[in-house]
Structure formats: C-alpha cells, structure tokens
Amino acid sequence: MKNSQLNNIEISKFLNNTLSPNELNLFKEKLEVSDNVALLKKFIIVNHLFEVENVHFDSDAAFEKFLAKKIAYNSSTENSFFKTNKSYLYAAAIALFVLGLSILIYTNNAIYTTEVSDQVVLKLGSGETKAIDETESNKIFNKKGEVVAVQKGNSILYNYSVNKELLAVEINEIYVPYGKRMEVVLSDGTRVYLNSGSKLIYPTFFNKDKKRIVELKGEAYFNVAKKDSNNRFVVNTKNFETTVLGTEFNISSYDNDVSNDVVLVEGAVSISSSADGDTEFFLAPGEQFNYTTNAPGSVVSVDVQSHIAWLDGVLVFENESFDVIVKKLERFYNVSIENNYDTLLNEKFTGQFDLESIEDVLTTFKNTMPFKFEINNQKVVINPLNS
C-alpha cells in the first residue's frame, strides 16, 4: 500500500470527526500497520489531556467518553467504518486506556505524566491537540487552514508578518511536561521560554491597538518586544498580574508552590496582586516581587542569575528548604519523590547542579544530612537511615 504511514493530519481529522468517507477507508487500511496503531494510541492520549483537567483521572471513564463520542458520530453520519470496526476500537482503546492512561495523574489544573511526559502538547483554537516532536519541523494551522506558526525542534515561531491581519485570531495553549523546556516566539516577536510543568495560553496574534495579554501557569522567562503605550504586555497568573512595555523578566507561578514571584532582569514592570487590587508594585532591575498567602506583596533585591539559571539547564538552590527543593527536582528530572523522612523537610540547602543525575544530586544532599534513597524508573523513595 502506497503511503502507508499514518500522518498527524489524518489522526487529528479522525479525532475531530472530519475525515471524508474515502479518507476513512484509507485510514482503516493504514490501521493494519502496527506502527500506525501505536501512533494513534499516543494521539488519543494527547487528545484527552485537556479534557480531564480539574478531576482525578479515571481510565475506564475516559475510554467510555472516547468511544461514546465516536458512536455518536457514527449515528449521525451512518459511517460504516465505526459500524464494522467497533471491535478494533475496543481493542485499541482498551489497550491504551486500561494499560496506558492509568499512569496519568491530574492535579491542580496541571498535567503530570510519566510515560507520555516526554512530549510537549499544543492545543489549537479548533480544540485539536498536537504532540510536539522536538526532532521534527512542522507547520501549525488555524481552523481556516492558514499557517499561523512554524515549529522547529523545541521552538515555535508565530507569524508576525505584515499580512497577519488576514488571519483569524485564535487562542492557543501549550503545555510543557516535567523534564522539558520550550521556547515560544509570539506574533509580536516576544520570546517566551517555558520551564518544566508550565502552561501558556496566548492568541495566535495580537491586535496592534490593544493590550497583549497572555496567561501563565508555571514558570517562564519573557523577553518582551517593545511597542507603543497602547500595546502594553500583560501576563496573568493565579495570584497577580504583571504589566510591561518592553523588558526581560522571569515569573514563577506554580499552583503547588508556597510562594510565587517575579524577578526583573531589565526594564520595568508593574504588578497588581489579586489579594489587594488597590496596591501596585513597581520593580527595578535586580528586584523580586514575592507573593505568599500570608504576605501577598513584597519587593526585595535578589541575585538575578540564580533565578534564571534554569534557562541554561542549571539548578540553583540558595538556602532553600528540602520540601521546596523536592518540587524543583521533580520538575527538572521528571520524577516523583516520596519523602518518608520528615526531619528533612525543614532542612535548608545551598548548591548548584548542572549535568548531574538525580542520583548525584541526592547523594550530595545525603552527605550533609544522612538518609537513604532508592530509584526505580521515575520513582524516588527517601527513608531514614535506620528504617
């Protein structure tokens, strides 16, 4: 069979019920190839990532939801593919959801994965989700079939040509899993570097007469393109809003962190805390705005480099408690850490790690505060020495 390789466009159209009858027949033939079945399974996983946020993941329920969607489509279109191939859908989907998706955990509006966490996920304005392969280059389309961006490796460049006003504005979302980082160049030329476990929501291009507004969950470094005063750049996070004209700064706003912050590298920013909308904070380069539940707004001077070292793949801890360090290690190394040694929680450590493995890092810590640990695949268990 010619062109027997299943491609991303075919799978996306299948998941969105937009294959023509002829395309469905060809799709069915391609599913006779085992590699194509494996690829379809992977995309079915990704297709559900954004549908089950805010709830505990139930693999059986997810499978039923997926199958029900296809059966509903079959009823409305009388498509013979779904009438004659339910046995395939059950075989493929059960293998996927019962054996594969049971490993997924969804907590606090963020997606944490193990087996599929090696892929960045992009959600388009059409609702379609795409797994980003960092070894490839691909065009990204809107609902009208217009090219709005180009992905090359771990970077996505949105179209900011003079013809962008011809494009339909859509909202895109990108999720970067644990152990990965991603660069997104927005339509105005602003560069956003996303750290592990982060999600960015943004328009495919900005209106030149309005504020440029994006939403962040997690951590990102922004190099904002300078525009006029009508085009101020705004980053919305859970606890505060950061407004700039053109500058470089880092925002850390993970839902499960005790504190969130903004560190200014150059330029100027203003910050409005959601806890006190009447108070506006202004940062100068080298200053940090810090937010905690008990102290929703404070500004201090900091060592900027320690806060942006992650851009170069470097982990830096400065007198940080072990419970905070654990979260950073989980994101950086894409592991889950079970700490059964409570004495460690409030111990504070200072250090810098570059090319070290998770085993090397933990060994360094235990030389200061003795404990024992085991690593099994992506799971780390820490116990007292005498346990």
SS3 string of 142-156? CCCCCEEEEEECCEE
pLDDT value of residue 161: 56
Instruction: Dump pLDDT digits (tens) for 33-43.
Output: 877 776 666 55
pLDDT value of residue 119: 86
Place of tokens 């460690």: 344
Whole-structure pTM value: 0.69
User: Which letter, b or e, does each residue of 61-94 get, where b requires 16 or more Cβ atoms within 10 Å of its Cβ?
Assistant: ebbeebbeebeeebeeeebebbeebeeebeebbe
Rounded to 5 degrees, φ, ψ at 194 are: -95, 130
Rounded Cα gap, residues 69 and 223, in angstroms: 42
Give the chain's domains with CATH numbers.
Answer: 8-106 (no CATH), 120-308 (2.60.120.1440), 314-383 (3.55.50.30)
pLDDT value of residue 355: 78
Residues 177, 199: contact at Cβ < 8 Å? no
Rounded Cα gap, residues 237 and 192, in angstroms: 15
pLDDT value of residue 273: 83
Question: What is the chain's length?
Answer: 387
Q: What is the DSSP string of 85-117?
A: -HHHHHHHHHHHHHHTGGG-EEETTEEE-STTT
pLDDT value of residue 45: 46
**In the chain, which stretches have pLDDT less than 50?**
2, 45-60, 62-117, 162
Instruction: Dump pLDDT digits (tens) for 211-264.
Output: 899 999 999 999 998 887 778 999 999 999 999 978 999 999 999 898 999 999
Rounded to 5 degrees, φ, ψ at 190 are: -65, 135
Q: What is the DSSP string of 4-72?
A: -S--HHHHHHHHTT---HHHHHHHHHHTTSHHHHHHHHHHHHHHHHTTSTTS---HHHHHHHHHHHHHH
pLDDT value of residue 43: 54
Residues 51, 42: contact at Cβ < 8 Å? no
pLDDT value of residue 318: 87
pLDDT value of residue 253: 95
The number of CA neighbours under 13 Å toward the Cβ of 267 is: 21
Which residues does 191 contact at the CB level (< 8 Å), separation at least 6?
Answer: 183, 184, 185, 222, 223
pLDDT value of residue 275: 63
Rounded Cα gap, residues 252 and 313, in angstroms: 16
pLDDT value of residue 37: 74
